Structure 1
Amino acid sequence: MIKNQTTMSARVGVDVEWKDSDTNSLPSFHQTDDLPYVHKVGKPPKQDLLKEIKTGLKETFLSDDPLKPFKGQSKKRKLVLGFQTLFPILEWGRDYSFSKFKGDLIAGCTIASLCIPQDIGYAKLANLDAQYGLCKFSQKFQQKILQIFDQYILIQTYTDSSFVPPLIYAFMGSSRDIAIGPVAVVSLLLGTMLREELDPIKQKHDYERLAFTATFFAGVTQFILGFFRLGFLIDFLSHAAIVGFMAGAAVTIALQQLKGLFGIKDFTKKTDIISVMRSVVQSAHHGWNWQTILIGVSFLIFLLVAKFIGKKNKKLFWVPAIAPLISVIISTFSVFITRADKEGVQIVRHIEQGINPSSAHEIFFNGPFLAKGFKIGVIAGLIALTEAVAIGRTFASMKDYQIDGNKEMVALGTMNIVGSLTSCYVATGSFSRSAVNYMAGCNTAVSNIVMSIIVLLTLYIITPLFKYTPNAILASIIISAVVGLIDLDAAILLWKIDKFDFVACMGAFFGVIFASVEIGLLIAVAISFGKILLQVTRPRTAVLGKIPRTSVYRNIEQYLGATRIPGVLIIRVDSAIYFSNSNYIKER
């Protein structure tokens, strides 16, 4: 006999009296002549189809009632609230103080020192020239902006993907802690998918155009998801799948950096572990450069030690933050004075300085590459969005505040759309920089503005000095950065809690390292959907017993003291009961 409130009401027209409001508690029977006391249930009201559809849509897309603050307000107040909704900085900026600025200033300076060398490396990871990790405003774009304000001054600046997107996010984002810029996983994904379509060397111009096109559609995808409040879709990619995907991407990224770490010139274009290791071994006799290996391994050890120091002592968070910049300065100076580049040490050689043509006319809005750019952009945009929202929620929970997922998507989408027009590729929230930003004591998104300004001024002054930066140091910086993406503790916890989640995690991990980033992502999504379908069609059931001296009923397998009621079988179904699982529940 199954005591289930819904099914009993529908079948016999009676309902058992609940003793308390605890949803996990079951009814307590009032004995009258050895029979349970029951109440008659009235006939349910006639259902209105349109009303049900309206209610369903409201609960799906407008569950938080975003228009509630606008109700009963004057037109002027509604306009103000509208601007504050679009630009949260107008709301929290009213309470901004100098004490908050001091924390943001320190945090901005700290993450700026970290992002400069990382951005150059991530651009190379995406098979783009360094200036696209360090991309620039165009003269025409600047003139159009200045003409709006009736200013006719020509400003020649050198900016990067850690300048334009963070500025836009600072005005539109709702997270106080996210640090915006290029990230390793998205750079690898973008580079891998672009290289399948075009050769980054032989078809360099078209490759760059396709990168801008993908960035544009990544931004459009993110914006649409946020504007139409479809953010719940990214929740279908489970935490277990993300853990596995990130770990696999980290291993793949590290393996790709062996080319720069060992000074290998002839390297495979494939990303799977077998092809990469075969390429490394085959080039061992003639392709390795011992000076490059010495530089790369030495600074890799230095960076890992700095990361270990920062992890052990939270007060020394600045050590791993400035270590990459120190590594770049020392290695560049060493190569310059020894002219190690003449001995086979590969260097950056040249990063363009000055004015870069606008990329607005470079985007493919027609032709065969339009569909390819759209496909790559949607995938890269979703991965970037998932990473940013996860990072934002993590740090928001640590500081006990809420972020609006849909606002985040609109902000991320807008910054990538503008970025695609200003020679930037896909940017998102960086976990390593956000962690440094958090530990440095940031208070608001002003830390992103501080970082942007420092990066702008720094690159405008010292850009020519990057000419002698060895590729090995960039490889070391990327390897040390992606180590943190491998979360062994999370994988072990998944094994202990849910074996199916662990399978999803491992499936994504092995899919990435043995096949490709796209295959790993596809496996992660497929397993996540598979788990959802399995849980819906084959829900867990538990036999419940009464906890002594209480009116609470719990799973008798978890609570050994719970006792079953003689003659009554009480079962809890951990899912809604409907057509896809009703037969299974009956059979159980």
Structure 2
Amino acid sequence: MDRPPKVLVVDYESELYHEKFKNAAKGLPKQSIDYVVSLFPIATWIHRYNIAWLVRDLIAGITVGIVVVPQSMGYAKIAQLPPQYGLYTAFVGLMVYCLFATSKDISIGPTAVMSLLVGQCITHITATNTNITGPEIAVTLSLLTGAIAFVIGLVRLGILVDFIPLTVVSGFMTASAVTISIGQWPKLLGLKSVNTQDPTYLIFGNFFKHLPETKLDAAFGFSALIFLYGVRFLANYLGRRYPKYQAHFFYISITRNGIAVIFGTLIAYLINIGKTTSPISILKTVPAGFQAMAVPRVDAETISAVGSSLPSAVLILVLEHVAIAKSFGRINDYSINPNQEIIAIGFTNIWGAFFGAYPSTGSFSRTAIKARSGVKTPIAGVFSGLVVILALFALTPAFYYIPDAVLSAVVIHAVSDLVSGPTYLKRLYQVSIWEFLVFVAAVVVTFFTTVDYGIYASVGLAILILLFRIARPRFYSIGRIPLSSPDLDPSLASVAADTYQKCDYGTVPEENQQPYLYVPDNDPSLGHLAEPLPEGILMLRVDESLTYPNSAYITDRIISHCKAFTRRAQGVISKGDRAWNDDTNPVKDAARAQLPLLHALIFDFSKVGRLDSSGLQAVVDAQTALNRYSGHHVEFHFVNIPDPSVRLNLIIGGFASQPVQNRLYCINSGDSYSGTNDENHQPNEIMSLPSPTKDDPAHQGYHSPAYSLKTRQNKSSTLHLNGSTIDTRHSHSSSTSTRYTAIPLPKDRYHFFHWSADNAVRAAAVSLSIREELQYYP
């Protein structure tokens, strides 16, 4: 029987660009077909539609429809539009979305946040452009934001959403809820002297200033609020008390908005009998049907007027919708396609512009109701749309006497759920003070200005923090802890030692068989147990990819850290040769003379997922500076390289076959040494450390391996074992008794790349001992 293998040599063959293009061209026809099919997800499930789904969708759709009618009219008032425009917006979103949807739960229509933005935009534009009407502004916004979102989805740029943290979404939704609620207070009490289009802080102050002017509307408003919160609280309480009837109480709770509007309207009608002027503010005439249906009139003047609001409008449109869709997808165990959702919301708003709608997006409250109603498919939105049509064509005469105070109560009750509670804020503060500041920025800026500026401030601050984290990654000096230390778990040390002994790579000195745990020196739990690496060897870890934003910073940190723990090759420098910013003195010189020369620097690359040209140059520059500082070549070793592309870039940078000194080569070859070694000239580099060739992995210094591992990037992997080939692409087989092949710790084809920190330190220590034996150091 053959002897078990001792060395596993790993190498990655890079896929050439022409091969990538060739493979992409082969798959282009199929990808094109898949792309077109993906634009209409309804085609993948409509053929499975059945009666059971229909019943559930019908119930959920009607339930949402009952809620959306009063909410839409209230939100239209926030948008500074007549109430029927809220119904137009709700109808289009509900009817069209199902064609493109990948979320069964989400409900499209007017929302509080978008209505607030549209209202502020209309107020600002009509104040300076009297020839542009509010509906024209709303339609233009719907068409342009929809077109922009549609293009973003088509070209698959939904990844941009991932750059906006959830904190920003929570911040501007909370800010909008507070702004909307305070803006509804004057209408709730019938205060006509308060301008609800002022910044929120002014509305807040003027509300209390004009409080003595409270009208009869307050009775309707407060009664509606008490009723809405009372029914919800009672339904939730009884649902918990009697779980058997929880569904019944849920549907009773859902009807509270409609009941409040119906009773408020009935009472308002009764008190207006025989009066020519209503004692309270009422909705009055709501035109039946789609009176605003037409081809949108979009001219340069209107586009220029709404241009400043487009970025924030698109941001809200996409962020709110995708965030809600993802949230309910996780809750109900299905995945959504963000790009397809952006296409859906884009097309919905383009189509909505022809019906006189203003921008619509996903609604959190109505989506939650739809999900709890047991919806099965996006077709439920069609049934909600039919309820809106019924309201538009049959119920508009009854809308005349709806009290504005009752609609304000409905709006305040709806947006209160958007406010982030104390528990969320406490957790956010504990997790990250910076994210908490992003949240606060969104709320504060919106409160004192507008929702546009609040969004820009919070998004800008979030991106600034992200860029700062990328440009200034955490940087650690690594120490090591012997795993046989009595301060650690003896059982763990025993297991580690046994594992190490099984990975036999040849003759290893007894003193080097000690396994170690490598931790940052400043680790709060284990840092005090860490001991330094052998003299002249340092280890560093960077917790971020090495790219152009942080390359200069990383170079400086590497050099300064190495200089702090090692000495200069020249030793003491005379005053005349000393740099102007060198503040050393005899005492410091004497202390630094005791430091070792830097021999090797080991990088833990486990967190470096990408290495671009700037990052590679940073590592090269650091090595060049340290070579000059140390007076000889400093070895750079790399541990735990996570990606083959990072490894390839290091090879391109020359770190796979770094030079060794002539004397080392000569002593091994028997030749004479005649190199130079002054401060301005590196030792002659006539060879690289021995590396195996592709044809012979055992070439020059490797023990002949019984097998080797070669992988092609993005391809399957094969393991060559004693002449046999084993496919390693699958982690398990179809057999019920799966057997796994135990392998020793792999060894990279190149000597300076390692799969364990112990091996890296050991390799550096071996070359250091050779240097010391040859007395190469000055």
Partners of 1:199 and 1:207 within 8 A in 2: no
1:576 aligns with 2:529: no
Distance 1:112 1:332, change over 3 A: same
> How far apart, CA to CA, are the structure 2 residues paired with 1:268 and 1:414?
35
Query: What CA deviation, in whole Å up to 9, does each residue of 1:375-408 have, x standing for no partner?
Result: 3344212202100000000011112211111111
Q: Is the 8 A contact 2:75 2:110 kept in 1?
A: yes
Aligned counterpart for 1:121 among listed residues 68, 74, 95: 74
242-251 or 302-311: which moved more? 302-311
Distance of 1:95 and 1:553 partners within structure 2: 56
Could you tell me which runs of 5 or more consecutive residues in structure 2 were left unpaired when the two chains were aligned: 1-5, 240-245, 497-515, 562-778
The whole-number CA distance in structure 2 between the counterparts of 1:555 and 1:300 is 57
Give the 3-state SS of the residue equivalent to 1:305 in structure 2: helix
* Residue 293 to residue 539, structure 1, CA distance change in 2 (3 Å): same
Asked whether the equivalents of residues 242 and 524 of structure 1 are also in contact (C-alpha less than 8 Å), the reply is no
Q: 2:454 aligns with which of 510, 520, 530?
A: 520
Distance in structure 2 (CA, Å) of the matches to 1:193 and 1:335: 32
Residue in 1 aligned with 2:125? 197
Residue 71 (structure 1) aligned to one of 1, 20, 30: 30
Report how far residue 503 of structure 1 moved: 0.7
Deviation at 1:451, TM superposition (A): 0.7
1:322 offset after TM fit, Å?
1.3
Shift of 1:190: 1.1
Cα deviation, 1:180-231, whole Å, max 9, x if unaligned, reads 110000000111022111149x948622111111111010111011011111
Of the two structures, which has the highest relative contact order with CA contacts closer than 8 Å and spacing of 6 or more? 1
- Whole-Å Cα distance in 1 between the matches of residues 521 and 329 of structure 2? 37
In structure 1, C-alpha distance between the alignment counterparts of 2:10 and 2:365, rounded to whole Å? 61
Q: Which whole-Å CA distance do the structure 2 matches of 1:67 and 1:424 have between them?
A: 44
Q: Does residue 226 of structure 2 align to residue 301 of structure 1?
A: yes
Instruction: Please tell me whether the aligned partners of residues 310 and 318 of structure 1 are also in contact (alpha carbons under 8 angstroms).
Output: no
2:109 matches 1:181 = yes
Whether the 8 Å CA contact 2:123–2:197 is kept in 1: the answer is no
TM-score relative to the length of structure 1: 0.79
Alignment of 1:104-115 (within 5 A): 104-115=57-68
**Which of the residues 148, 152, 157 maps onto 1:230?**
157
CA contact (8 A) 1:222 1:409 kept: yes
1:353 aligns with 2:288: yes
Alignment check: 8 A CA contact 2:309 2:452 kept: no
| Partner residue of 1:425 out of 358, 366, 381 | 358
The farther-off stretch of 272-281 and 391-400 is 272-281
Deviations along 1:221-250, whole A, 9 cap, x unmatched?
110110111112222222112211111111
What is the CA distance between 1:582 and its match in structure 2?
3.5
**What residue is the counterpart of 2:145 in the other structure?**
218
Structure 1 residue 128, shift from structure 2 partner: 0.2
Distance in 2 of aligned mates of 1:408 and 1:45: 36
| 1:464 aligned partner | 397
The amino acid of 1:375's aligned partner reads S
Please list, as runs of the form range in 1=range in 2, the aligned pairs for 1:315-326 lying within 5 A after superposition: 315=247, 316-326=249-259
- Contact 1:218 1:379 (C-alpha < 8 Å) held by counterparts: no
Letter in 2 for 1:400: D
Letter in 2 for 1:307: R
Determine if contact 2:282/2:403 at 8 Å carries over to the other structure. Answer: yes
Counterpart of 1:265?
Answer: 192
Distance 1:173 1:357, change over 3 A: same
Distance in 2 separating the partners of 1:360 and 1:369: 15
Where does residue 505 of structure 1 map in the other structure?
Answer: 439
Distance, in Å, in 2 between the alignment partners of 1:271 and 1:319 is 38
Q: Which has more radius of gyration?
A: 2
Write out per-residue CA displacement over residues 511-532 of structure 1, whole angstroms, 9 at most, x where no aligned residue.
Answer: 1112221121111111111111
Counterpart secondary structure, 1:572: strand
Is 1:280 the equivalent of 2:245? no
**Aligned with residue 97 of structure 1, among 47, 50, 67:** 50
Which AA in structure 2 matches 1:128? L
Report the Cα offset of residue 539 of structure 1.
Answer: 1.1
In structure 2, what is the equivalent of residue 560 of structure 1? 525
2:741 match: none
| Kept after mapping to 1: 8 A contact 2:519/2:526 | no
Equivalent in the alignment of 2:267: 334
Kept in 2, the 8 Å contact 1:83–1:90? The answer is: no
Q: Check if 1:407 corresponds to 2:333.
A: no
Q: Quick one: structure 1 residues 578 and 355, their matched pair in 2 at CA, closer, same or farther if it must change by over 3 Å?
A: closer
Return closer, same or farther for 1:317/1:377 CA change in 2, 3 Å cut-off. farther
Whether the aligned pair in 2 keeps the contact of 1:220 and 1:417 (CA below 8 Å) is yes
CA distances 1:400-449 after superposition (whole Å, capped 9, x unpaired): 21111111111110110010111111111100000000111111101111
* 2:97 equivalent in structure 1: 169
Structure 2 distance, partners of 1:330, 1:66, is: 66
**C-alpha deviation, 1:67, in angstroms:** 11
Opposite residue 441 of structure 1, the aligned amino acid is: G
Aligned length: 506
Q: Is the 8 A contact 2:42 2:99 kept in 1?
A: yes
Cross-structure match for 1:494: 428
Which whole-Å deviations, capped at 9, do the CAs of 1:556-582 have from their partners, x for residues lacking one? 777836853641665432211234323
Of all paired residues, the percent bearing the same amino acid is: 27
Change (3 A) 1:400 1:517: same
Alpha-carbon spacing, 1:473–1:555, altered in 2? closer, same or farther (3 Å): farther
User: Which residue identity lines up with residue 379 of structure 1 in the other structure?
Assistant: S
Residues 75 and 411, structure 2, Cα contact 8 Å, conserved in 1: yes
State the SS of the aligned residue for 2:308: helix
8 Å contact kept, 1:243–1:491: no
Question: Deviation digits for residues 81-121 of structure 1, max 9, x if unmatched?
Answer: 56642221121111111111221111111111110000000
Aligned match for 2:474, one of 540, 555, 567: 540
Task: Indicate conservation of the 8 Å contact 1:511/1:520, yes or no.
Answer: yes
Change (3 A) 1:129 1:521: same
| Aligned equivalents of 1:197, 1:67: Cα separation in 2 | 52
Is 2:183 the partner of 1:256?
yes
Relative distance call for 1:303 and 1:537 in structure 2 (3 A) is same
Distance in 1 between the 2:378 and 2:167 partners?
30
SS at match of 1:329: helix
The change in CA–CA distance for 1:422 and 1:256 in structure 2 (over 3 A counts) is: same
Q: 1:515 to 1:521 in 2, by over 3 A?
A: same
In structure 2, relative to structure 1, the CA distance for the partners of 1:461 and 1:197 (3 Å cut) is: same
**Conserved 8 A contact 1:218-1:380:** yes
Q: Aligned letter for 1:344? A: P
Q: 1:505 to 1:197 in 2, by over 3 A?
A: same
Counterparts in 2 of 1:69 and 1:474: CA distance versus 1, 3 Å: farther
C-alpha spacing 1:301/1:413, structure 2 compared with 1 (3 Å): same
Q: Return the alpha-carbon distance in structure 2 between the equivalents of residues 389 and 455 of structure 1.
A: 24
Higher mean Cα deviation, 388-397 or 348-357? 348-357
TM-score, normalised to structure 2's length?
A: 0.60
Aligned partner (choices 298, 306, 314) of residue 381 of structure 1: 314
Q: Within 2, Cα distance between the matches of 1:219 and 1:419?
A: 9
Using a 3 Å threshold, how does the CA distance of structure 1 residues 95 and 297 change in structure 2: closer, same or farther? same
In structure 2, the partner of 1:369 is 302
